[in-house]
Amino acid sequence: MRRPPVAAGGERPVAGKNRAARCSGRFAEPEERLRELATQLVATGSQVIYAQGPYALRGARAASVIIPIVGFDHETDPVAAGYAASLARPGGNVTGAFLDQSEISAKQLQLLRELVPGLTRVAVLLDAAVASAQRESVEVAAKRLGVTVAPIVWRGPDTLPAALASATQDGARGLIVLSSPRIHEQGNRRLVADAALKRHLPAIGMLNFARDGLLITYGPVQKDMLRSAANLVAKILEGARPADLPIERPARFELVINLRTAKALGLTIPQSLSGAETIP
């Protein structure tokens, strides 16, 4: 399960330096606990807070607008959320590694259309608590490509099969799973993949979804984003100000196709996607 940490724990070397930084970790599942734990970190006199995911980032920012915060976040637009004045010069106490949602959304929709020629209506599974930037990006990309978006709000695993059944009855012929710490929990990934396959819906998501049975995964190389965030933490510990450290975007992306799922859906992988990593 992907836990949303406010900070990583342990004692480890600072990137690129022969010295160690002591890290105090706090972890919580309910979002309401994160602000309390972030406040505890502030009280310890932390030099920097590392916040993974939108809930942890919100908790850390609510706890302090002074202590430097490095975010690692797939879901949030840091400028639209008010964390930064601009990507190049954040201007506040938050910097970090964030996705370009408009680029990801457009590419995922394009990939789905390559696998499902003639796609005109797509269901979009989203977590309403973190999906505003993602949903807007998908809708903009879909309008440009002449595709209708049918949103499905994640309300837990028990309601998903009926929601997908309704979407297919209304004409959806594909599914985009937007990024969310809740939806991307390991058990939920398998459930989403199985539910999509049962409704014969070709589906695309991020992270490890294809390894859990979803047709296709497209997203950033995680280790690159983690390295970017770690380097920003190191720079702050060396004296840099988050206000002056540009927000990092991933430069490399990975495409993974589950061939077993493709076969079950009766799909042929087009030559244009022949360079993708495949899961037999």
Q: How far apart are CA 100 and CA 104, in angstroms?
A: 6
Q: What is the pLDDT of residue 4?
A: 43
Task: Give kind and range of the element (H or E) at residue 38.
Answer: helix 31-43
pLDDT by residue, tens only, the chain of 280 residues: 344 444 443 334 444 454 445 555 555 455 667 777 888 888 888 899 999 999 899 999 999 999 999 999 998 999 999 999 999 999 999 999 999 877 888 899 999 999 998 999 999 999 998 888 888 889 999 999 999 999 999 999 999 999 999 999 999 999 999 998 889 887 899 999 999 999 999 999 987 899 999 999 999 999 999 999 999 999 999 999 999 999 999 999 999 999 999 999 999 999 999 889 999 8
Q: What is the pLDDT of residue 36?
A: 79
Estimate to the nearest angstrom the gap between the alpha carbon of 75 and the chain centroid.
Answer: 5
Q: What is the pLDDT of residue 49?
A: 94
Q: How far is CA 143 from CA 27, 65, 118, 126, 169, in A?
A: 40, 38, 15, 18, 21
| The residue type at 269 | I
Q: How far apart are CA 97 and CA 88, in angstroms?
A: 12
Q: Which of 41, 188, 81 is nearest to 125 (CA)?
A: 188
Ranges of each domain in the chain = 5-99+221-251, 101-220+254-279
Fold of the domain spanning 101-220+254-279: Rossmann fold (3.40.50)
Provide the 3-class DSSP secondary structure of residue 278.
Answer: strand
Statement: 5-99+221-251 belongs to CATH 3.40.50.2300: yes
Beta bridge partners of 26: 7
Residue 49 has φ and ψ, to the nearest 5°, of -115, 130
